[in-house]
Structure 1
Amino acid sequence: MHETSVYVRFCETDAFGHTNNTSYFYYFEESRMKFFHEVMQLEDATEVGMVVARLTCDYIHQTYANDTLIARTSVEKLGTKSLTLRQEVLRNTDREIVATGQCTLVCFDNKTQSSIAIPDIVRERLQAHLIQPQT
């Protein structure tokens, strides 16, 4: 899985001092964007558009301001026009998973405003990060 370090800022917490539930979607997004930038290494980011079709988060443990977390991203499923990413957030101190999520993205052509097949070069790079189904 591709990993990104995340620092929980005070403004990302709620009235009870916990990391706010919405903050995890930002952590997922940061991890997702870095995954595509570092792993895909496309010459031109506009070659392939990906739009989020679905995003979920399951909260497992609490985190707090000043915690350092690790956000991880990998490819769970690769279809013809879409893919599903598995995303996790872990505490850096003990590597315990604190939240999990899935993000379904659709390959999209901005000119035609329609979904398109994932280009072969992109598919090859994504397949290298495809995780095996968990049993």
Structure 2
Amino acid sequence: MSEAHPLETTFDVRFCETDALGHVGNTVLVQWFEAARDPVFAYFVPTLDIKKWPLILASYHVDFHHQLFYGTPVTIKTYIKRIGRSSFVTQQEVWQNDQKCATGTTTLVNFDYQNQCSAPISDAVKDKLSVHLLESDDE
């Protein structure tokens, strides 16, 4: 299997994203992760038209490794951890000053809102997702 190519997004840390302790608040990372998934969302809806949105969030998990601070940009690296029939899992990392500060996983479901059920992910979208697919630790 070839090496996964992450999608990378860089954000400037805003002062309002810091807390009383002087570091980035823990809920900010979930927002950064969501914004950094826009390129993945565009595989499903190239225009990002919310009226055509087929995805719902099933779960997310964040692990914090190091504190993040105001004044230095962060880079979010987005990978695909798993691709299923109707769902997929992203794995994301927050990097600041060449240090991995947090990781997160998010499970998203391709959803048919009219019928209120999951829907298969097309082969074309699976092909786009697979470029970012991490090798399994199970092998």
TM-score relative to the length of structure 1: 0.88
When residues 43 and 65 of structure 1 are mapped into structure 2, their CA distance, relative to the original with a 3 A threshold, is closer
Q: Could you tell me whether the CA contact under 8 Å between 2:56 and 2:109 is conserved in 1?
A: yes
Distance 1:11 1:28 in 2: 17
Out of 120, 125, 128, the position equivalent to 1:125 is 128
Identify the residue that residue 103 of structure 1 maps to in structure 2. Answer: 106
What number of residue pairs does the alignment pair up? 131
When residues 67 and 114 of structure 1 are mapped into structure 2, their CA distance, relative to the original with a 3 A threshold, is same
Distance 2:128 2:38 in 1: 15
SS at match of 1:130: coil
Distance 1:57 1:101 in 2: 4
Out of 68, 72, 84, the position equivalent to 2:73 is 68
Q: Kindly report which structure 2 residues correspond to 1:7-22, keeping only aligned pairs within 5 A, or say none.
A: 7-22=12-27
Q: What runs of 5+ residues in structure 1 fail to find an aligned partner?
A: none
Q: C-alpha offsets along residues 45-88 of structure 1, whole Å, 9 cap, x if unaligned? A: 46661111001100010111122000111111011111010000
Letter in 1 for 2:72: D
Aligned-residue offset at 1:36: 3.0
SS at match of 1:63: coil
SS at match of 1:125: helix
Out of 110, 113, 116, the position equivalent to 1:113 is 116
Identify the residue that residue 9 of structure 2 maps to in structure 1. Answer: 4
Q: C-alpha offsets along residues 79-112 of structure 1, whole Å, 9 cap, x if unaligned? A: 1111010000001x3x210000100000101221
When residues 42 and 66 of structure 1 are mapped into structure 2, their CA distance, relative to the original with a 3 A threshold, is same
Out of 7, 32, 38, the position equivalent to 1:33 is 38
